[in-house]
Chains A and B, each alone.
Chain A
Amino acid sequence: MSELFQETIIISIFAATIRIATPLILAALGELITERAGILNLGVEGTMLMGAFMAFVGAYFSDSIVIGIILAMIGSALMSFITVFMAATLKVEQVVTGLAVNLLAAGMTIYIYKLFFSGGAGGFPTIDPMPTLALPLLSKIPYIGPIFFTQKAITYIAFFMIPAVWFFLYRTKWGLEIRCLGENPKVIDTKGMSVTVRQYFAVIMGGVLIGLGGAFLTIGLVGRFVPEITAGRGWLALVIVIAGNWRPSGILLAALAFAFLEALQLQIQGIGVTHLPYQIFLGLPYVIAIVLMVLKSGKGRSEEPARLGMPYFRGER
């Protein structure tokens, strides 16, 4: 292989890593805010799927990417509203609620998709995906430019959200209060502040981020909707939150690691240098996720919110 060819491949692997990490980072940050408020949102997959679907529907009927993104945010906000209503107001078991949300999103999106988009002779409906936005000057830097600064707008937003979410959680009053909900909600309650209002805020805001991650899959990358297009990325986001030890910086690292693996897999498959069955590469992230969780158990100080998944009752210790 010539040196130039190798260089191109390496750049394209890293650029793909950044691209693939985008939805994972957004979904994991959304889940981070949610879990910091003490609520375990297992409906990430469904919330993301709804975001992906609504983004496509919006962009398809309006020919506008912006409308698509707005609809994705509304759709995922609605899904996370269901989640937080069940968890915070009705205090239903959060694991079961999350599953119900996933099943609802899977069923509704396929149903509506079949209703509106089947029977057409033109095959699968498509839209023009978001254009690549090469940042002026920055994209001209050798190596760095093509990897980091020749991406889609949502990718820049995702990476910007890492310090933004950190700032929100650790440097603002609301962030402190939300983190407090995950550790000891009684403190918030005895100060006369509403636990429920803050939980709603955290879960819905997190849900919007998750939905934005979903939107990236349809209108950011492929320009069409496929049933179950999220393909487990929502669940991976949950693992990324654990692997990243409930911190924005850790989430960035974990998401990049998973994304790098997938990028590598795509490249290896693409140039056909191996005779290994492709299913090995597809299944690998999930195996690694399990191994990561095993390795992480009992090691170091866990930042896991103490009250994660437990509903708050006034008057209980």
Chain B
Amino acid sequence: MSLTIEKRLAPSKKWMVLSILFALVGSAIASALLLRVTGADVGVAFAAFFDGAFGSSRAINKTLLRATPLILTGIAVTVAFRAKIWNIGAEGQLYAGAMASYWIYFIIGPDIGLFILPVLFLAGFAGGGLYGGLAGFLKSRFQVNEVLTTVMLNYVITYFMSYMLVSGPWRDPASYYAQTPRIDKSVWLPKIMSGNKLHIGFIIAVLCAIAVYIMLTRSSLGYEIRAVGHNTRTSMFKGINIGRTAILVMLISGGLAGLAGMIEVFGVSHRLSAEISHGYGFTGIIIAMLAILNPIAIIFVAILFGAFYVGGLTMQVATGVPSVITSAIEAIILLLFLSASTLTRFQITWKDKT
């Protein structure tokens, strides 16, 4: 008898659902263990976690607010990963979008009020898109591995922004911190309901997810993306211009991440600083994988991850356990899911040796 692993002809739906469940249950156990190590009361910690994330309408609002950039980075990563283009640079593209939109605001100023918003959205998309597109261009023109370029570009933009904020022209002279002055209230993203912090960025993120879903499933570009991702060689013979697709994919992917940056600046922090992203670009990768690269599923997974963050903070207050535990847990979820999802693509069978 021997164990053999064989490829399935089609991915198994049953195992897909089971592996998500496995990842969630497994990570709950892992977090209980991690909490136990600290000596914290696991029950109290979990209760505080759920209360903080979903316990009141205020909590739900916070969770959705936190989910907004995650939806956008999640679908940004999805567009690229669907074409098997490994965009690891959503974090950098997010900052590129934030910087581009702040730059436009810096030039135009707040005088025209909310009429500036469409321009700012465009700037955010363009900033992230061009930054991502650069990696796409290098990939298609010079066959440079996009994983490495996007990672390098993450570092480059971080230092560039640090310069602009520390000693450059954007620095708020009145502040001790390296950040821009506060953006005028008239240009803040409007709130969905007064009294809550949740802004229209959430609706825009959800609309983007739906648009990406339609683009991927109904448009010819979406067909090309999926074809390239499925088999690059075959799609070349089908007459798809692989280089052009790679650049387009990175433009869209970077643009969506850039939009997340713009939304965080004008909807949440109301100024540009290095603190606008809490690793959203990287969390977006985990979210995209868990959502099996499905833009609609991403909305829900992103909300779950928003809850992780908000709940983690409440838990920190209640038990003193550092809230960064959630980033460790997120990685564990991803690893468990990846392991379990092997069974969606392969079947393990016992065979008699002959």
A301 to chain B, nearest CB (A): 15
Contact B338 A289 (CB under 8 A): no
A46 to chain B, nearest CB (A): 9
Number of interface residues of B (CB under 8 A): 50
Asked if A115 CB lies within 8 Å of chain B CBs, one says: yes
Contact with A103, one of B37, B155, B282 (Cβ below 8 angstroms): B282
Asked if B38 CB lies within 8 Å of chain A CBs, one says: yes
Contact B156 A286 (CB under 8 A): yes
Contact with B155, one of A82, A90, A286 (Cβ below 8 angstroms): A286
Contact B155 A294 (CB under 8 A): no
B338 to chain A, nearest CB (A): 5
What's the Cα separation between A160 and B114 when bound, in Å?
64
Q: Which of B60-68, B157-165, B214-222 contacts A (4 or more CB under 8 A)?
A: B157-165
What's the Cα separation between A106 and B88 when bound, in Å?
16
Contact B324 A114 (CB under 8 A): yes
What's the Cα separation between A287 and B325 when bound, in Å?
33
Main secondary structure of the interface of B (DSSP, over half): helix
Contact with B144, one of A100, A108, A293 (Cβ below 8 angstroms): A293
B40 to chain A, nearest CB (A): 10
Contact B149 A290 (CB under 8 A): yes
What's the Cα separation between A101 and B334 when bound, in Å?
10
Contact with A313, one of B7, B162, B167 (Cβ below 8 angstroms): B7
Question: A80-108 toward B: CB 8 Å interface, digit per residue (1/0)?
Answer: 00100010001110011101110110111
What's the Cα separation between A22 and B243 when bound, in Å?
38
Contacts between chains A and B (CB distance < 8 A), count: 127
What's the Cα separation between A118 and B320 when bound, in Å?
11
What's the Cα separation between A99 and B288 when bound, in Å?
13
Contact A90 B339 (CB under 8 A): yes
Contact B156 A97 (CB under 8 A): no
Contact B148 A238 (CB under 8 A): yes
Asked if A279 CB lies within 8 Å of chain B CBs, one says: yes
Q: Assuming A99-B285, A104-B332, is B148 touching A118 (CB within 8 A)?
A: no
B350 to chain A, nearest CB (A): 16
Contacts of A42 in B (CB 8 A): 147
What's the Cα separation between A294 and B160 when bound, in Å?
21
Contacts of A82 in B (CB 8 A): 335
Contact with B148, one of A114, A239, A282, A313 (Cβ below 8 angstroms): A239
Q: Assuming A103-B330, A110-B324, is B159 touching A283 (CB within 8 A)?
A: yes
Contact A280 B289 (CB under 8 A): no
Contact with B282, one of A99, A277, A297, A298 (Cβ below 8 angstroms): A99
Q: Assuming A99-B282, A100-B331, A104-B331, is B86 touching A283 (CB within 8 A)?
A: no
What's the Cα separation between A100 and B287 when bound, in Å?
12
A88 to chain B, nearest CB (A): 11
What's the Cα separation between A111 and B37 when bound, in Å?
12
- Closest residue to A119 on the B side, CB-wise? B320
Contacts of A313 in B (CB 8 A): 7
A121 to chain B, nearest CB (A): 17
Contacts of A108 in B (CB 8 A): 328, 331
Contact A279 B162 (CB under 8 A): yes
Question: B140-152 toward A: CB 8 Å interface, digit per residue (1/0)?
Answer: 0011110111011
Contact with A280, one of B163, B286, B326 (Cβ below 8 angstroms): B163
Q: Identify which of residues 299-314 in chain A touch chain B, using a CB-to-CB cut-off of 8 Å.
A: 313
15 interchain pairs, CB-CB under 8 A: A86-B335, A92-B339, A92-B342, A101-B335, A104-B328, A111-B34, A111-B324, A118-B322, A279-B163, A283-B155, A283-B156, A283-B160, A286-B153, A297-B142, A313-B7
- Chain B residues packing against A (C-beta within 8 Å): 5, 7, 34, 37-38, 86, 88, 138, 142-145, 147-149, 151-153, 155-156, 158-160, 162-163, 166-168, 282, 285-286, 289, 321-322, 324-332, 334-335, 338-339, 341-342, 346
- Chain A residues packing against B (C-beta within 8 Å): 42, 82, 86, 90-92, 95-97, 99-101, 103-104, 106-108, 110-111, 114-115, 118, 232, 235, 238-239, 242, 277, 279-280, 282-283, 286-287, 289-290, 293-294, 297-298, 313
**Which 3 A-B pairs have CB atoms at the shortest separation, nearest pair first?**
A107-B328, A283-B159, A107-B327
